[in-house]
Chains A and B, each alone.
Chain A
Amino acid sequence: MCKLFGTILVYFFIFDFSHALYFHIGETERKCFIEEIPDETTVLVNYKVEVFDPRTGGFMQSTQGIGMHVEVRDPDMKTILSRVYSAEGRISFTSHVPGEHVICLYSNSTKWIGGTQLRVHLNIQVGEHTIDYANVAQKEKLSNLQLRIRQLLDQVDSITKEQEYQRYREERFRGTSESTNQRVFWWSITQLAVLVCMGAWQMKHLKSFFEAKKLV
Chain B
Amino acid sequence: MDTTRAAFLWVIALAVLESATSVELTFELQDNAKDCFFEYIQKNTSCTLEFQVVTGGSYDVDVQLLAPNKDVIYRQVKSQFDSHTFTTDTTGDYAICFSNEFSTFSHKLVYMDLQVGEEAPLPGMGHSTVMTQMETSADSVHKALLSVADFQTHHRLRESQGRKRAEDLNERVFWWSLIETACILVVGIGQVCVLKNFFSEKRPQTYHRLG
Interface residues of A (CB under 8 A from B): 1, 4-5, 7-8, 11-12, 15-16, 18-24, 31-36, 123-124, 126, 129, 133-134, 137, 144-145, 147-149, 151-152, 155-156, 158-159, 162-163, 166, 169-170, 172-173, 176-177, 179-180, 183-184, 187, 190-191, 194-195, 198-199, 201-202, 205-206, 209-210, 213, 215
Contact = CB atoms under 8 A, between A and B. Distances in A.
B73 interface: no
Interface residues of B, number: 72
Contact of A134 (B17, B22, B23): B17
A140 B191 CA distance: 83
A37 to B, nearest CB: 10
10 contacts: A15-B14, A20-B21, A21-B39, A148-B138, A159-B148, A166-B156, A169-B163, A172-B163, A176-B166, A213-B200
Contacts of A180: 166, 169-170, 173
B123 interface: yes
Nearest to A150: B122
Contacts of B177: 183, 187, 190-191
Interface stretch (B30-38, B56-64, B74-82): B30-38
B199 A213 contact: yes
Given A21-B25, A21-B37, A33-B26, 19 more contacts: A1-B3, A5-B7, A18-B18, A19-B21, A20-B21, A22-B38, A23-B35, A32-B27, A32-B28, A124-B24, A144-B122, A144-B124, A159-B145, A169-B159, A169-B160, A184-B173, A194-B185, A201-B188, A213-B203
Interface string B128-149: 0000101100110110011011
Contact of A34 (B3, B21, B109): B109
B72 interface: no
B86 interface: no
Contacts of B139: 148
Nearest to B93: A22
Contact of A155 (B149, B170, B173, B174): B149
Going nearest first, the 4 A-B pairs with the smallest beta carbon separation are A187-B177, A134-B123, A198-B188, A180-B170
Contacts of B20: 19
A23 B98 CA distance: 12
A155 B35 CA distance: 32
Given A20-B21, A34-B109, A198-B188, A206 B195 contact: yes
A195 B122 contact: no
B75 to A, nearest CB: 20
Contacts of B170: 176-177, 179-180, 183
A151 B122 contact: yes
Contacts of A158: 149
Given A123-B21, A183-B177, A12 B184 contact: no
Contacts of B156: 36, 162, 166, 169
- The listed residue with most B CB atoms (<10 A of its CB), out of A32, A148, A206, is A148
Nearest to B112: A21
A30 B19 CA distance: 30
B134 A162 contact: no
